[in-house]
Structure 1
Amino acid sequence: MSHASAVGRPLRQIMALLVTAALTLSLSAVITVTSAKDAAALCSADRFNGKWRSSDPRLKRIDVWQGEDCHLYARAWSVCEHDKSLICSWGNRRMGDSPDPNFQFFYYNWSNANEVLQLRMKDRTHISVWDRTDFHDGTKQTISVTMYKSR
Structure 2
Amino acid sequence: MKRLLAVATVLTMTAAMLAGCGSSAQNAASTASEPAVQESVQAPAESQVAADSEAPAAQTDSDKVYRIGICQLLQHEALDAATKGFKEAMIEKLGEDNVEFDEQNASGDSATCATIINQFVSADVDLILANATASLQAA
Into which bin does the TM-score normalised by the smaller protein fall?
A: under 0.3
In the superposition, the TM-score normalised over structure 1's length comes to 0.23
**Larger RCO, structure (CA 8 Å, separation 6 or more):** 2
Structure with more helix by fraction: 2
Structure exhibiting the larger radius of gyration computed from Cα positions: 1
In the superposition, the TM-score normalised over structure 2's length comes to 0.24
